[in-house]
Amino acid sequence: MHYFVLRHSRQMQKRVKSVPKPAMEALVNADWPGNIRQLENFIERCVIFTQGDELNVLRTELKKPSVRSVTSAAPSFEQAERQAIVDALIAASGRIAGKGGAAERLRLKRTTLQNKMNKLNISRAEYSG
């Protein structure tokens, strides 16, 4: 963030030398759903409106961080992997290898699928038709 402040200060021939601690905390805690360019554009706007040597952060334009937690919003990779394996086993009637088997459906080697099943405590017997 300091890099962007210094860069845009020089471009606009301003003397912004510091970012106040509350402003820095607001920037760090804001929601930046885009990429780094979104943050840079915001800091550029702040430099434009800054009078003096401390960055004036436009707090009314900051987006609050989303309240949802990562674990409740999306399944973990392990949960998604487990579900994909279970779905493939159900579709293959518990068969792991061979034509139409779970490994083929998942585009995995049989041994890779078996290792993943062991790691995730999945028993093919539960899904045998």
Cα–Cα dist 84/61, whole Å:
41
Total residue count of the chain as it appears in this document:
129
Same domain, 55 and 79: no
Give 113's pLDDT tier (boundaries 50, 70, 90).
Answer: very high
Q: Could you tell me the CATH number of the domain that includes residue 16?
A: 1.10.8.60
Same domain, 79 and 115: yes
Same domain, 40 and 84: no
* pLDDT tens sequence across 13-54: 988 888 888 888 888 888 777 678 888 888 898 889 888 889
Number of domains in the chain: 2
Alpha helices in 50-109 (DSSP H): 70-73, 77-91, 102-106
Using the 3D structure, point to which of 61, 86, 102 is the last residue of a domain.
61
Cα–Cα dist 126/128, whole Å:
6
Same domain, 56 and 97: no
Overall pTM surpassing 0.85 (yes/no):
no
Residue 109 has pLDDT above 90, yes or no: yes
* pLDDT tens sequence across 59-101: 777 766 555 444 455 568 888 888 888 888 988 988 999 999 9
Range of the domain at 11: 2-61
Same domain, 12 and 47: yes
